[in-house]
């Protein structure tokens, strides 16, 4: 009697174990490679080859599909530093102001934040422009240089500076939103892991008798015990 037949006999004599033994039977018929399956068939002449198959291989390792949190955080810091450099070197904004603007825009992108990056850029560059408010922007873009100066006391260069600043603050807004979503996902994943761990412990306690039963069947112990312990870990 081979291992598969023993598992089937054990399931027949213990109905409470069937839900666990059936997956074991399927696993016993699954092999890591064609060579491993062929070796098993040769070592077990009575095995039905049609019931065995090779495990499907994934293109990438599971760990490769998830970016490391440290790398994501480092990339965000680099992007923030690059934006601050742009504001200070290209737009002539003091570094302290640039860092504050970046922080505000990132907070606005996260939940609970307020202040659109376009509004922030406008408020920083044109706090004292006479009669010039955010609603005048589209109109101002079409105005000649002399009218801009006489009407609002600003220049075309000021508008170009605004466009550049709002783009950088928009990137910061997106970073804040992305980081917020990543943190929310991490919280949900942790909660899910906690639930799984609790259920696993309950399962382990529930199947202590089955573990003892496995001890009475040395030929099955190496297969059943690790799987039951894994479910409880």
178 with 124, same domain: the answer is yes
40 with 145, same domain: the answer is no
Cα–Cα distance measured from residue 84 to residue 77, given in angstroms and rounded to the nearest whole number = 11
Res 76: pLDDT? 81
pLDDT over threshold 60, residue 69: no
Q: How confident is the model at residue 31 (pLDDT cuts 50, 70, 90)?
A: low
Cα–Cα distance measured from residue 168 to residue 157, given in angstroms and rounded to the nearest whole number = 17
25 with 77, same domain: the answer is no
13 with 51, same domain: the answer is yes
- Name which of 10, 17, 40 is nearest 28 in CA terms: 40
Structure confidence by residue, pLDDT tens digits, 156-212: 998 999 999 999 999 999 988 888 888 888 888 888 887 777 766 665 566 666 666
Res 61: pLDDT? 42
Cα–Cα distance measured from residue 7 to residue 24, given in angstroms and rounded to the nearest whole number = 8
Kindly report the pTM of this predicted structure. Answer: 0.50
Structure confidence by residue, pLDDT tens digits, 196-214: 777 666 655 666 666 666 6
Contacts 24+ apart (CB under 8 A), 61-69: 69/182, 69/186
Minimum mean pLDDT range among 10-19, 149-158, 187-196: 10-19
| Highest mean pLDDT (candidates 6-10, 55-59, 182-186) | 182-186
Q: Which residue has the higher pLDDT, 183 or 216?
A: 183
**Using N-to-C axis directions, what is the helix angle for 3-13 and 218-232, rounded to 10°?**
70
13 with 94, same domain: the answer is no
- Name which of 20, 25, 23 is nearest 3 in CA terms: 25
21 with 100, same domain: the answer is no
74 with 45, same domain: the answer is no
Contact 29, 9 (CB under 8 A): no
- β 53-54/30-31 pair status: parallel
Cα–Cα distance measured from residue 5 to residue 198, given in angstroms and rounded to the nearest whole number = 34
pLDDT over threshold 80, residue 48: no
Instruction: Find the domain containing 44 and state its range.
Output: 7-56
Q: Chain-wide mean pLDDT for the chain?
A: 75
**51 is a domain residue:** yes
Res 161: pLDDT? 92
Cα–Cα distance measured from residue 16 to residue 21, given in angstroms and rounded to the nearest whole number = 10
Residue 69 is encoded by which pair of tokens?
């949190």
Cα–Cα distance measured from residue 126 to residue 120, given in angstroms and rounded to the nearest whole number = 10
Q: Which residue has the higher pLDDT, 177 or 1?
A: 177
166 with 143, same domain: the answer is yes
Residue 167 is encoded by which pair of tokens?
């783009």
């Amino acid at each position: 009697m081979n291992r598969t037949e023993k598992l089937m006999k054990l399931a027949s004599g213990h109905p409470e174990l069937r839900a666990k033994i059936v997956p074991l039977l399927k696993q016993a018929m699954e092999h890591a490679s064609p060579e491993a399956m062929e070796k098993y068939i040769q070592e077990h002449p009575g095995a039905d080859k049609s019931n065995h198959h090779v495990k499907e291989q994934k293109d990438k390792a599971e760990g490769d599909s998830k970016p490391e949190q440290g790398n994501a955080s480092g990339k965000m810091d680099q992007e923030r530093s690059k934006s601050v450099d742009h504001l200070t070197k290209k737009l002539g904004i003091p570094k302290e102001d640039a860092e504050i603007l970046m922080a505000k825009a990132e907070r606005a992108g996260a939940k609970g934040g307020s202040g659109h990056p376009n509004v922030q850029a406008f408020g920083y560059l044109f706090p004292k422009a006479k009669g010039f408010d955010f609603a005048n922007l589209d109109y101002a873009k079409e105005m000649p240089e002399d009218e801009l100066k006489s009407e609002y006391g600003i220049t075309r260069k000021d508008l170009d500076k605004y466009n550049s600043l709002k783009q950088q603050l928009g990137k910061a807004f997106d970073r804040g939103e992305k980081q917020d979503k990543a943190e929310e996902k991490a919280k949900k994943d942790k909660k899910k892991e906690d639930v799984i761990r609790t259920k696993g412990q309950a399962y382990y306690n529930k199947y202590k008798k089955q573990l003892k039963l496995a001890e009475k069947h040395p030929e099955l112990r190496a297969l059943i015990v690790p799987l039951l312990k894994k479910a409880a870990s």
